[in-house]
Structure 1
């Protein structure tokens, strides 16, 4: 699960983006000033930074420059209303990897994030499997018997969590904390909905039974009974 940092001082925009990104299975931290955002970004625990250009404290441009000066390589995407060629050049020269102009379509932002998080072509694929199902973390693809199966971000995250813990019982509370990033009392019935969806999309027969229910406890991924 990728960990993002959003540095945005407009509360409405920050709430909208955080909610949308979390629904796509990203973990999102939010800072509302350039100074606070820089402090979090310097920790180096994020996979990607979304930075508004105009911020109180330090501007997004200054945040990016300081990160690069301290050799923090985390990808940066600027979110800004500025759109002149000079502004674009200034952002790239400060060390940004990409630049998206406000207002933007959320789907476009998602695709730009995916591009920045895509691993190098020469990187060895990280794969997990159960029965005839293969999940490729590197390419974010799932295949069954060689046929690619389209999953939502949350379905993929749930399947990945179960396969990473193959042959081990995953308790419901552990699943909700790690896949949904919810750390308080919550109705875990949502897990059942997603498990049923995975079984249907992956066409898991009763004989295969790759995703098994452990009543009253949780679920387990294993190669049939």
Structure 2
């Protein structure tokens, strides 16, 4: 079993190298994000242990680039950061597990073995609703041929709506699935982000696919006018230099 450890704390990295070798793993170690990215994409590993706070290139960017290049090796994020948003960001980018420092070496080994037993997971395919496409692997969204730039929260909301296209989803369901469990704000935040999304996925294209169902929630529907989308783009100015 071959494992890559990307960790800038050299004492910890060496401790992991020694300990994992004693557990029967073959271990490569990198101390910065750039070399870690190179090793992760140029070599075959059964699992990757990846710190977030790395020099030269942080762990989030390393993970994002690994997945963009369609390398699906299981990744366990290892970091001193332990907020809900940190974990959510890691999982959204394609992490398979998460441990915070200080951690138990026994737990680390157990989780690595579990990841390796499960093997490389099958990654989700592109999700399509009408002319709207969302690629989970690349974290990119397109309406027709035009790429749409979204914030992390907007992306999470759109991903949830697209996976439930045609269904009415309530504010409560959206909060449960898009915001973390510690969120204590008003449900009205959903209305705000629905508005943000409409301004990016509908209004520039002359479409009305993200619907408000009064008293119930929201529903994303396929656009019925995909054939004339290029003319709509031209008329709206979207995509012009």
Matched, 1:70 2:32: no
Deviations 1:176-220 (A, max 9, x none): xxxxxxxxxxxxxxxxxxxxxxxxxxxxxxxxxxxxxxxxxxxxx
For 1:28 and 1:44, how far apart are their aligned partners in 2? 12
Q: Is the 8 A contact 1:61 1:94 kept in 2?
A: yes
Aligned position for 1:171 = none
Aligned position for 1:111 = 110
Aligned position for 2:11 = 12
Listed as ranges, the gaps of 5+ residues in structure 2 are 120-241
For 2:45 and 2:79, how far apart are their aligned partners in 1? 21
Question: Whose radius of gyration is greater, 1 or 2?
Answer: 2
Aligned position for 1:86 = 85
Q: Runs of 4 or more off by more than 2 Å in structure 1?
A: none
Which has more helix, going by share of residues? 2
Deviations 1:64-107 (A, max 9, x none): 00000010000000110111111100000111000000000100
State the SS of the aligned residue for 1:45.
coil
Aligned position for 1:61 = 60
Q: Is the 8 A contact 1:81 1:101 kept in 2?
A: yes
Q: Is the 8 A contact 1:79 1:102 kept in 2?
A: yes
State the SS of the aligned residue for 2:42.
coil
Matched, 1:101 2:100: yes
Q: Is the 8 A contact 1:44 1:74 kept in 2?
A: no
State the SS of the aligned residue for 1:118.
helix
Q: Is the 8 A contact 1:44 1:72 kept in 2?
A: no
TM-superposed CA distance for 1:45, in Å, is 1.1
TM-score, structure 1 as length reference: 0.52
For 1:57 and 1:46, how far apart are their aligned partners in 2? 22
Aligned position for 2:2 = 3
TM-superposed CA distance for 1:14, in Å, is 0.5
For 1:6 and 1:14, how far apart are their aligned partners in 2? 7
TM-superposed CA distance for 1:50, in Å, is 0.3
Listed as ranges, the gaps of 5+ residues in structure 1 are 121-225
For 1:45 and 1:29, how far apart are their aligned partners in 2? 11
For 2:118 and 2:78, how far apart are their aligned partners in 1? 23
